[in-house]
Amino acid sequence: MKARCAMKNLLVAVDFSDVTGRVMATAEQLARAFGLLLSKLRSRGNCFSQPQP
């Protein structure tokens, strides 16, 4: 018998760009539709691509 694993969590990483609202709305719809726990990770920028002072 094969074990079935269902996705239970949805992690959404967003910045403060113009599309953030649409991304969050879509993520919320997906979470509701599939009964997922939605976690939001917000960032003001990509720390890996920006030079450090």
4-34 burial: b if 16+ Cβ within 10 Å, else e: eeeeeeeebebeeeeeeeeeeeebeeebeee
Tell me the whole-structure pTM to 2 decimals. 0.67
DSSP annotation of 36: P
What's the pLDDT at 15?
A: 83
Which pLDDT belongs to residue 1?
A: 52
Task: Identify the pLDDT of residue 29.
Answer: 96
pLDDT tens readout for residues 1-53: 555 667 799 999 888 788 989 999 999 999 999 999 999 988 766 555 555 55
